[in-house]
């Protein structure tokens, strides 16, 4: 019934407990999950999950935060994206969260490597015709600018994709929607201080919403602070159902259909 569109089951704290996690998913009605790659070094573990289980799929990408790892080329991404059950490019994007020039930290100019890495992912996604999984944190203006510069405008050349774990403003959401992207909400939506984010979730069209856990991070209330798993994605759906005055089953159906529409290669 429910689909977790973004989780990290290859991370050790979840991988070592996979049988229990899968049992909990089944009990919670979570039928499918997209396992997200964050480094080239991690890809084989992520892809093995998709290969071993018929209700898991994989992405290929290098997270913008990751330094000291193998830098991806377009060919690296294209080659891995061609493997069975790889349905997305990412997690990719920009993250300026820890940048603080006033405290001797790095400047925006210092993070040009992030922007070039992002462009590499966009070009690979366009080449293989698979959607992008976008991470943006305190970098929305540059994220949107680069997407536009690379032709991600909803046109025939565009790969499209999803802004995952969305925490930005309504204006950013509107801009992402205008570019043809989906918006994915995580357990943050259930947090007490997330009222502005709940307002965003209330206005995003229902046919452009995905739900996710980003597990092992960001467990929803009432499990906040604990290790997150895909079994908790129904709590995100329940929050959306409350905001929109609709049954949670309808949210599950709509977001699962959206997942199938965006990640069209799940049927191949």
The domain that holds 240 is classified in CATH as 3.20.20.140
Asked if 90 and 43 count as a contact pair (C-beta separation under 8 A), the reply is no
Range of the domain at 15: 2-267
pLDDT tens for residues 193-215? 999 999 999 999 999 999 999 99
Strand order in the sheet with 132-137: 2-7, 30-35, 56-60, 86-95, 132-137, 161-163, 182-185, 209-211
**Structure confidence at residue 98 (pLDDT):** 67
CA–CA distance, 34 with 122 (Å, rounded to integer):
19
pLDDT of residue 156 exceeding 90, the answer is: no
Peptide bond between residue 216 and the one before it cis (omega within 30 degrees of 0): yes
Compute the CA torsion angle 176, 90, 143, 172 (nearest 10 deg). 30
State the total domains in the chain: 1
| pTM for the whole structure | 0.95
**Structure confidence at residue 103 (pLDDT):** 41
Asked if 58 and 50 count as a contact pair (C-beta separation under 8 A), the reply is yes
**Structure confidence at residue 267 (pLDDT):** 81
Asked if 67 and 91 count as a contact pair (C-beta separation under 8 A), the reply is no
Cα–chain-centroid distance for residue 263? 12
Specify the higher pLDDT residue, 117 or 266: 117
**Structure confidence at residue 133 (pLDDT):** 98
**Structure confidence at residue 33 (pLDDT):** 98
Give the side-chain half-sphere CA count within 13 A for 89: 32
Closest listed residue to residue 167, CA positions, set 143, 132, 151 = 143
**Structure confidence at residue 99 (pLDDT):** 62
């Amino acid at each position: 019934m429910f689909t977790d569109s973004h989780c990290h089951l290859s991370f050790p704290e979840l991988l070592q407990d996979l049988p229990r996690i899968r049992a909990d998913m089944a009990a919670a009605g979570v039928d499918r999950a997209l396992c997200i790659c964050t480094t080239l070094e991690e890809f084989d573990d992520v892809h093995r999950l998709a290969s071993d289980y018929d209700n898991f799929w994989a992405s290929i990408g290098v997270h913008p935060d990751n330094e000291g790892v193998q830098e991806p080329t377009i060919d690296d991404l294209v080659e891995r994206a061609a493997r069975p059950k790889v349905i997305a490019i990412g997690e990719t994007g920009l993250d300026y969260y820890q940048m603080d020039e006033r405290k001797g930290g790095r400047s925006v100019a210092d993070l040009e490597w992030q922007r070039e890495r992002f462009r590499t992912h966009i070009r690979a996604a366009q080449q293989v015709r698979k959607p992008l999984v976008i991470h943006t944190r305190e970098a929305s203006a540059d994220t949107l600018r680069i997407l536009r510069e690379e032709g991600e405008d909803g046109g025939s050349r565009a790969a499209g994709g999803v802004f995952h774990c969305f925490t930005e403003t309504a204006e950013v959401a509107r801009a992402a929607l205008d570019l043809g992207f989906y918006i994915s909400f995580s357990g943050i939506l259930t947090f007490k201080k997330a009222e502005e984010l709940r307002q965003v979730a209330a206005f995003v069209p229902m046919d452009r919403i995905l739900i996710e856990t980003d597990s092992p991070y960001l467990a929803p209330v009432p499990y906040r602070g604990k290790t997150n798993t895909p079994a908790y994605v129904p709590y995100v759906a329940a929050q959306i159902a409350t905001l929109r005055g609709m049954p949670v089953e309808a949210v599950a159906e709509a977001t699962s259909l959206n997942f199938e529409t965006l990640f069209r290669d799940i049927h191949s």
